[in-house]
């Protein structure tokens, strides 16, 4: 058994391919199964939030479409039609078990502004306190490229720390992570536990995507990185295991478990690195990169080689090395125009170069979040 003692809150994501039948009609027995498992959890005093896909697929069914529309507005219309059908199905199933649900639709820009993100957290908290199950999806009816999260594995992993989830479970049409592609290799083995997401794990993920949904294995590994860094465990397992949800939460070894990181980052750091959009980037030299490998130090102008993009002071920017690897993200104390003038110079010369005195650091160590895999 896995050691999952003291679980209070969990977040479940169910993919489109599990929620609709082959003809894209809603798979009502699956929805009833989800609510039945939620009832068992609720009887144990465990809060659960659901991230549910399936809006576009069930909207396509309503409109008699068999292929995902390429036209953005038609896709959005499908989402609008399908989302209400989905909620109808969930509410019908929830009634059977005396449960209550509420709908939350979000886009990426709801995370971009921290204040707005905090309002979302408060709403979710109030729902839990009133025994309402939040049913969350991307607001696909309004989602355009610039503001969308894009897939619900990522969306669930972004919400996970906002509700202080102990566990995120991604239910999909696959049993978990395999050491090689199980569709090609008969001897592929299911990985039981991943302690650390390293290059080997990323290689195992390959590039498998499902026909109906959006998220493939790479997306799921990325979701694992986002949720485990915030201190939650994450499981990938087959949606035919939803009936065993209580056992999974009790620690039964089903699917692949990605263990919560021991070096948990704060919610502010999580916001900087995973939620906020980067408005530009700076390239640093090898000397500064080596220093960052040893210790998180502030980024000074001397170690900067180049700047890209147009950003203002206070915006989030990415830090890259010479080869384009992402080393981290941080809040810039200077605009891109100012950094262009300061790059390569000693901090003490900044007053002379700019004609006014600013901060010594381009990015202060406290406003900097490093990505281990980039260093």
Residues that bind ligand GLU (CB under 6 A): 15-16, 53-57, 137-138, 140, 151-152, 213-215
Q: Which is nearer to ligand GLU, 11 or 288 (CB)?
A: 11
In the complex, least distance from residue 55 CB atom to ligand GLU, rounded to whole angstroms: 3
Q: Which is nearer to ligand GLU, 21 or 264 (CB)?
A: 21
Residue 197: name the closest of 372, 341, 7 by CA: 372
Q: Which is nearer to ligand GLU, 213 or 328 (CB)?
A: 213
**Burial of residue 112, with CB atoms counted within 10 A of its CB: 0-12 exposed, 13-18 middle, 19 or more buried:** middle
SS (H, E, C) 289-354: HHHHHHCCCCECHHHEEEEECCCCCCCEEEEECCCCCEEEEEECCCCHHHHHHHCCCCHHHHHHHH
Q: Which is nearer to ligand GLU, 56 or 331 (CB)?
A: 56
In the complex, least distance from residue 137 CB atom to ligand GLU, rounded to whole angstroms: 5
CA atoms within 13 A on the CB side of 107: 11
Q: Which is nearer to ligand GLU, 90 or 311 (CB)?
A: 90
Q: Which is nearer to ligand GLU, 59 or 280 (CB)?
A: 59
The answer to whether 371 touches 198, Cβ cutoff 8 Å, is no
The answer to whether 284 touches 327, Cβ cutoff 8 Å, is yes
What stretches of the chain show up as alpha helix (H) in DSSP? 16-19, 28-43, 55-62, 72-96, 109-112, 114-129, 152-159, 199-205, 217-229, 245-250, 267-270, 286-294, 336-342, 350-354
Six token digits for residue 278? 């980067």
């Amino acid at each position: 058994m896995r050691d999952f003692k003291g679980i209070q809150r969990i977040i479940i994501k169910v993919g489109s391919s599990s929620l609709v039948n082959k003809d894209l009609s809603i798979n009502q027995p699956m929805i009833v199964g989800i609510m039945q498992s939620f009832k068992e959890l609720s009887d144990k005093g465990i809060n659960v939030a659901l991230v549910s896909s399936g809006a576009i697929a069930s909207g396509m069914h309503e409109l008699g479409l068999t292929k995902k529309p390429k036209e953005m507005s038609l896709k959005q219309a499908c989402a609008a039609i399908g989302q209400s059908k989905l909620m109808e199905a969930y509410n019908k199933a929830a009634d059977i078990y005396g449960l209550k649900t509420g709908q939350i639709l979000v886009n990426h820009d709801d995370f971009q502004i921290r204040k707005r993100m905090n309002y979302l957290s408060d709403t979710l908290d109030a729902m839990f306190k009133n025994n309402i199950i939040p049913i969350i999806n991307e607001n696909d009816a309004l989602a355009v490229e610039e503001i969308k999260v894009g897939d619900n594995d990522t969306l669930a992993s972004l919400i996970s720390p906002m509700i202080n989830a102990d566990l995120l479970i991604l239910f999909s049409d696959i049993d978990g992570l395999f050491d090689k592609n199980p569709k090609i290799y008969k001897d592929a083995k299911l990985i039981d536990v991943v302690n650390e997401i390293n290059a080997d794990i990323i290689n195992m993920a390959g590039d498998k995507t499902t026909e109906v949904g959006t998220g493939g294995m790479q997306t799921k590994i990325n979701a694992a990185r986002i949720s485990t860094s915030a201190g939650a465990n994450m499981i990938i397992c087959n949606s035919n295991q939803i009936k065993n949800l209580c056992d999974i939460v009790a620690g039964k070894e089903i699917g692949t478990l990605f263990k919560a990181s021991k070096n948990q980052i704060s919610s502010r750091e999580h916001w900087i690195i995973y939620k906020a959009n980067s408005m530009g980037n700076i390239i640093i030299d090898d000397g500064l990169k080596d220093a960052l490998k040893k210790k998180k130090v502030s980024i000074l102008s001397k170690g900067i080689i180049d700047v890209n993009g147009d950003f203002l002071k206070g915006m989030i920017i990415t830090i890259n090395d010479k080869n384009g690897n992402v080393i981290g993200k941080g809040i810039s104390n200077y605009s891109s125009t100012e950094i262009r003038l300061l790059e390569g110079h000693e901090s003490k010369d900044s007053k002379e170069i700019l004609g006014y005195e600013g901060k010594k650091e381009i990015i202060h160590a406290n406003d900097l979040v490093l990505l281990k895999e980039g260093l």
